[in-house]
Amino acid sequence: MYSVRVQGLPISRRLRRLALASFLVAAAGGCEFEWGGASFHLEDPSPPPVEADVEELAAEEVELPLPAGPLLWAVRSTGAGGEAVAMPVARLENGVPRSLDFPEPPPEGYRARFDSAFAVRGTEMALGAAGSRIGSLVFSGPPRTVDAGCPSVVPARALLPPGVALPVISFGLGAGTSAGDVLAPRTPVVDDRIRTFGPILTEQLLRQGGEGRPFLAQRADLVAVPWPGDNRPAMAATYLINDSVGADAPTGAATSLFFLARFGATGYVAEWSEMRTYSGSESREIFTWLAAVPGPNGRIDFAVRRDGPARLLVASTESDEGERGIDWTEGARCPALELLEIPAN
């Protein structure tokens, strides 16, 4: 129903013309007009129309999309017989690890959709360590929430060739990812060649990075790294100046150097190196090599980045573009190495 406001006429004349004015207003279909010296304005007493679509969108939560697979899983051995637990840490994009972007906190229903898409019991994927595929991983139980803001942890069982033991830490490549044939992992040893070339390469890298005290470098970690297709092992080493792994932050200037190197025509050449200079805890990062898997587009090497007690995963992917760098760093919110230490049962 509409009301009419009349202006411009004496009250005695307004009443005589009200009926006629109402008729004309309705017939005119407009909002305001003049007639016989009077000004008429049509008013709608009902509230303004509600934009239903806008209200529905505001009230209705938009469903957050899941990450595009396949995913990369960190796997921790929990006992004899190949028992393990697995946790997704990244997604693979063209064979390179990228951020998983697991929301924190996850919206209602997101975890259930995520687990239904990626963590179904019986899901099988390639399992890699030491640079090659060592077997397969099969999810054997329902996912478990160990942290409300992090992906679920999934019980699993490793299927390995006879005589092959499951490493403490390995990595699963999401279902459908090609990782080559299963190869028995080799266990190379640090030989005289590595011991000879390690300090030489360390000094070269430190000087190239601007460190004026390479003679003070102390070896904190050195491992022989198997490289499928090459009988000569690669090596991964960590050297520190005025610092040590697991210790409190240094009181003065310090340097950390990490490198992964392969033997070339004249000696060992670094494929991946990370050098950090710092004082105290500022920008302190110490890297140690952890594992490697054969990715669909190149080998993926993993290291542990330490800053005091904190441990985060980093990864570098082999490519044809020359020297490698860090392609992915685990988010500090959900460190897999810590969460996977929680017992499966």
Residue with tokens 């601007």: 210
My answer on whether 154 and 214 are in the same domain is no
pLDDT in tens, 109-144: 999 999 999 999 999 999 999 889 999 999 999 999
Query: What's the whole-number average pLDDT of the chain?
Result: 84
Residue span of the structural domain in which 38 resides: 3-46
Least reliable range by pLDDT among 14-18, 160-164, 314-318: 14-18
Q: How many residues does the chain have?
A: 345
pLDDT tops 70 at residue 50: no
Please report the beta strands in 78-153, taking only residues with DSSP state E, as ranges in sequence order: 83-93, 96-99, 124-129, 132-139
Let me know whether 166 and 197 are in one domain: no
Give kind and range of the element (H or E) at residue 22.
helix 11-28
> Which residue has better confidence, 152 or 181?
152
pLDDT, position 46: 59
Q: Which of 173, 205, 220 delimits the end of a domain?
A: 173
126 beta partners: 136, 173
Model pTM?
0.80
Same domain flag for 36 and 86: no
Cross-strand partners of 32 = 41
Q: Is residue 338 part of a domain?
A: no
Q: Of 173, 208, 229, which closes a domain? A: 173
Residue 47 binned pLDDT confidence (cut-offs 50, 70, 90): low
3-state secondary structure (DSSP) of residue 26? helix
Examine the pLDDT at 20 and tell me if it is beyond 90: no
